[in-house]
Structures are given as structure tokens and as C-alpha cells.
């Protein structure tokens, strides 16, 4: 089995995802030193108080100190920063991201001379909370991570990233950036849009906050939980993946219209068939 040494790892964006990475990297003894880069001063101070990172510094300083740079910032910021980061790294440093879109990110550095030092990844885990205080010790355990366009990555960089993800308890999947964005539109992005829309629907019709609170069942709460997600993260995700999401939305609206037609016409048999068809998801998600 190949041996991997501990590395100085810089986490760029020490919020929910970055903070959770820090906890797992500490626990699994993957880091010799954890360096934090955080634009929000309150979050930076909190990350230090929680001992998520060993110290906070500027991005330029982190690039000089780190063997590995992990970007856990909104996807639009990844697109903006990544070319400059690749400009400054050596041929031994590794850069990876945890963004929920992949095509726009990989496109931003497609012809960069240090492209092969970058490994595009998406760990399939998150919560509706934000900030370093929301970091979770058991994050990523038994979840999947997608690594994209592996043929475009240097072997040593790819091997270390796979080792890191497996060490923190994740199942590694490989696919192209295009395939990733199509699949996440269906199994992640539409879920958030549906939750946002349902929350807006209820807020538009239920004017009494106390009534919503008193009557809300666990089913309703779990459905709208994602509506509490960070808009600063989700706005660029939805815009970057707009073509795939639009296709998913069209199908979702079609399905909603089928339910509306069956309910409006009191077509019990048609409504039953729609529900039974939906029940088939339990064969996949147990």
C-alpha cells in the first residue's frame, strides 16, 4: 500500500464545509498543519477559537506555506480565484475544490499550464447551516464524493486526493464535469429550488408566523429545511448550472401539473397512479 505523508493543508473558506473538513483532517491525522484563509473576520476568529485551524493568514501567504490548497468557497469565487492560485503554485502543490458545480470551474482553467495540479471534487454532504460554528465532526462519513475529469489531473495529485477522501470515510465516484452537473441538477439542485419555492408558497398564504410554527409537522419541516440554506452559496450554483436546472424544472413543473389536473378533476385513479409511481423511489432510497 502506498504511504502518504502528512501535509500542510490550507482551507480557503472556513465555514460549514471548510470547518467540517478541518475536523475530519485533524481526526484522521492527514494534516501536519491546518492553515485557514477566511475573508469574514468574525468567522476567522471563531475558527481559531474552535481550534479548527492552527492559524489564519492571507491567501498569498497560504499559497507559500501549503502543500495542498482546498477551496470551500462559493462556486463563483472559485472561478474567480482559481486561475490566480494556479499562477502562483509550484509543480508539487495540489489544489482541489468542493464546489457543487464543475463545468464552469474546470472551464475557467482549461488551458492553464498548471491545470494538472487541480483536482475538481464535490463531496456530497452539507446542511442548511453556515459558518465555522456549524462544522460537524462526522461530516462526510459514508457519503459519496465525485471527482471529475481525472485524466486531466497529475497522477500524484489525484492519488493524494483519493487517499484523503477515503481516509475521511467517503466513497469515491468518477465522472466528467458535464455528467456531474447534469446529475446534481436532478438530485441536489432541484431539491433546494423546490424547498425555496415551497417556503415562499407557505409564507405567501400563511400570514401568521405562530400558526405556521404551531401546525408545522416534521414532514413539512424536513421538506423546507433546505430553504434555510445560505443564499450566498446557492445563487451562483443555480446560475452556473442554469441549463441543466432549467431542463429539470420543466420536468418538475410537468409533474406538478399532472398532480394538479388529477386533484382538480377528482380523478382518484390517476392520482393513485401518480403516488404509486412516486413510491417506486423506495426501491432506490431505502
Tens digit of pLDDT for each residue in 226-259? Answer: 899 999 999 999 999 999 999 999 999 999 999 9
Residues 154 and 188 in one domain: no
Which CATH number fits the domain that encloses residue 192?
1.10.3660.10
Provide the Cα torsion 213, 217, 219, 224; round to 10°: 0
Q: Is residue 207 part of a domain?
A: yes
Q: Cβ(17)–Cβ(72) under 8 Å? A: yes
Q: Tell me: the pLDDT tens digits for 204-214?
A: 877 776 676 67
C-alpha cell at 154: 497529475
Residues 40 and 156 in one domain: yes
pTM: 0.91
Q: Which domain holds residue 55?
A: 7-176
Provide the greatest CA pair distance for the chain: 67
Instruction: Give the other-Cβ count within 10 Å of 284's Cβ.
Output: 6
Q: What does the alpha-carbon distance between residue 121 and residue 165 come to, in Å, rounded to a whole number?
A: 10
Helix runs in 89-129, H state only: 103-108
Q: Cβ(159)–Cβ(2) under 8 Å? A: yes
Each residue's pLDDT expressed in tens, for the chain with a length of 286 residues: 688 989 999 999 999 999 999 999 999 999 999 999 999 999 999 999 999 999 999 999 999 999 999 999 999 999 999 999 999 999 999 999 999 999 999 999 999 999 999 999 999 999 999 999 999 999 999 999 999 999 999 999 999 999 999 999 999 999 999 999 999 999 999 999 999 998 898 888 777 766 766 766 667 777 788 899 999 999 999 999 999 999 999 999 999 999 999 999 999 999 999 999 999 988 877 6
Amino acid at each position: 500500500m502506498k504511504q502518504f505523508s502528512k501535509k500542510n493543508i490550507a482551507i480557503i473558506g472556513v465555514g460549514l464545509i471548510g470547518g467540517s473538513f478541518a475536523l475530519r483532517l485533524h481526526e484522521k491525522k492527514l494534516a501536519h498543519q491546518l492553515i485557514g484563509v477566511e475573508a469574514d473576520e468574525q468567522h476567522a476568529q471563531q475558527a481559531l477559537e474552535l481550534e479548527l485551524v492552527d492559524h489564519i493568514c492571507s491567501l498569498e501567504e497560504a499559497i507559500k506555506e501549503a502543500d495542498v490548497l482546498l477551496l470551500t468557497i462559493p462556486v463563483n469565487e472559485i472561478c474567480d480565484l482559481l486561475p490566480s492560485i494556479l499562477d502562483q503554485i509550484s509543480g508539487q502543490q495540489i489544489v482541489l475544490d468542493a464546489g457543487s458545480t464543475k463545468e464552469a470551474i474546470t472551464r475557467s482553467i482549461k488551458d492553464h499550464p498548471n491545470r494538472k495540479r487541480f483536482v475538481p471534487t464535490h463531496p456530497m454532504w452539507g446542511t442548511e447551516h453556515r459558518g465555522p460554528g456549524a462544522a460537524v465532526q462526522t461530516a462526510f462519513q459514508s457519503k459519496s464524493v465525485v471527482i471529475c475529469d481525472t485524466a486531466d489531473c497529475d497522477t500524484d495529485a489525484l492519488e493524494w486526493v483519493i487517499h484523503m477522501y477515503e481516509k475521511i470515510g467517503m466513497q469515491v465516484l468518477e465522472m466528467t464535469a458535464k455528467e456531474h452537473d447534469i446529475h446534481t441538477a436532478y438530485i441536489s439542485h432541484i431539491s433546494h429550488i423546490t424547498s425555496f419555492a415551497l417556503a415562499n408558497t407557505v409564507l405567501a398564504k400563511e400570514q401568521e408566523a405562530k400558526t405556521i410554527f404551531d401546525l408545522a409537522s416534521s414532514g413539512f419541516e424536513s421538506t423546507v429545511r433546505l430553504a434555510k440554506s445560505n443564499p450566498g452559496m446557492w445563487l451562483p450554483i443555480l446560475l452556473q448550472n442554469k441549463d441543466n436546472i432549467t431542463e429539470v424544472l420543466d420536468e418538475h413543473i410537468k409533474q406538478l401539473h399532472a398532480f394538479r389536473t388529477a386533484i382538480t378533476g377528482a380523478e382518484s385513479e390517476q392520482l393513485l397512479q401518480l403516488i404509486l409511481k412516486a413510491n417506486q423511489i423506495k426501491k432506490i432510497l431505502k
